Amino acid sequence: MSSKKYTPQGKSAQQKKKSSASESVKKGVNNRKALFLSIVQKYDKAAQWLDLIRWGPDGHTPSYSGLIYRGNLLLDFLRENVDVKLMSEFLQAVDNYFNKRRAVTLKGHRNITESILEDHPELCLAGLPLISKTSGIPALVENRPWEKHSDFPQLCRAVNVWDFADHNADGPSSGRVGSLQEALDRCQAVADHREDPRGYMGNDDEIGFGWATQFDEVKKMHCSPSGTWAGNRLMESLGLEYPDGIMLIIYPAQHRPAYLAKPLFIEGTGDCWRSGRRGDNWGRTIDLSSYKECHREIVHCCQFFDEKLQFEFVLLKIDTCNLADRKKLLDSIVDELKAFKADNLVNGPWH
């Protein structure tokens, strides 16, 4: 009996194509990581600061807040939500901030970012503008209002009752509130139409942007047919920690804020935010019960309340507030970075 020697066959054309594509993706990811580090290292003081925020005040205990911020900054770049120009401009602004102070200090990322945005408002709302999927027409061109496309969803925004009472209900009962009951009373007066809302609808620190999500999506999940809202669950699904209550601001159905963009790390300085995936121009809230993506969200330019615009207001009291587990959120960001082979960069030095 003759034996036939087995000869391994070469890869098929399809296998070679898949292998080549895989190598290209891997090379692209590695190039993007290297590019990120090369950009950061051009800005010495910014790099020093980004390394400092990994640690708490004692210099030894990890700061989950700082690591979450670093992870989001890195994710936004690797996902190409942020380009080289914007990242460079942001890091240059951080450098300039510390150059004026001559020394790099352990200062929280939220405070630094807010200070930078006051001097560089052009860095705010720099994410991808929202685009109509059905028409393909850009939602916003050169900061002009959205053309009235019927497919654009109604928006809503959840605000801490303290912030709403302090900043938005500053009509007859002006001045900062001194107690929770006073804050709730002011909010209830607006919700009951006993007092007109005044002031602006921007973020809590008056930097010039506000957060919003899709009202129909939120209502379907958290409002019963009888109109009863599940305030605790709504807060959790929006990634918020407002233990004293929420003022839900419902935008008029036909109203479009003048500019809407996908949230970036520049706006998402809180501990309960995670960089959104590519695929559409909406960000996603993080559900604090699962640390998975939940509702679509955007940021928009500061909106002043106007008597011509009929906003609705619903005061939601909170029974219990489960604070976010920063460690779990950080772990979810690290898991996202594994797709880019960059999970080890969150804790590592960038300087």
Mean per-residue pLDDT, 162-175: 66
Mean per-residue pLDDT, 103-131: 84
Name the pLDDT band for 4 (thresholds 50, 70, 90).
Answer: very low
Name the pLDDT band for 33 (thresholds 50, 70, 90).
Answer: very high
- Report yes or no: 242 and 231 within 8 Å, Cβ to Cβ: no
Residue 310 is predicted with a pLDDT of 83
Residues 271, 186 share a domain: yes
The more confident residue out of 204 and 194 is 194
Domain membership flag for residue 2:
no
Percent of the chain with pLDDT over 70: 79
CA 250 from centre of chain: 20
Residues 296, 247 share a domain: yes
Global confidence as pTM: 0.83
Residue 30 is predicted with a pLDDT of 75
Domain membership flag for residue 203:
yes
Residues 187, 292 share a domain: yes
Residues 163, 312 share a domain: yes
pLDDT at 54 over 90: yes
Domain membership flag for residue 351:
no
Residues 189, 40 share a domain: no
Residue 107 is predicted with a pLDDT of 77
Cβ-Cβ contacts under 8 Å for 115 (sequence gap 6 or more): 97
Residues 312, 183 share a domain: yes
pLDDT at 276 over 90: no
Residue 68 is predicted with a pLDDT of 96
Alpha helices in the chain (DSSP H): 13-40, 44-52, 64-78, 84-101, 109-119, 161-163, 180-191, 215-222, 231-237, 326-338
Strand pairing category for 246-250 and 283-287? unpaired
Instruction: Name the average pLDDT for the chain.
Output: 82
The residue range of the domain holding 38 is 15-126+330-345
pLDDT at 22 over 80: no
Name the pLDDT band for 207 (thresholds 50, 70, 90).
Answer: low
Residue 349 is predicted with a pLDDT of 92
Cα angle at 159 between 158 and 161, to 5 degrees? Answer: 130
Q: Count the domains in the chain.
A: 2
Residue 253 is predicted with a pLDDT of 86
Domain membership flag for residue 9:
no
Domain membership flag for residue 10:
no
pLDDT at 231 over 80: yes
Q: Which two tokens mark 41? A: 């290292």
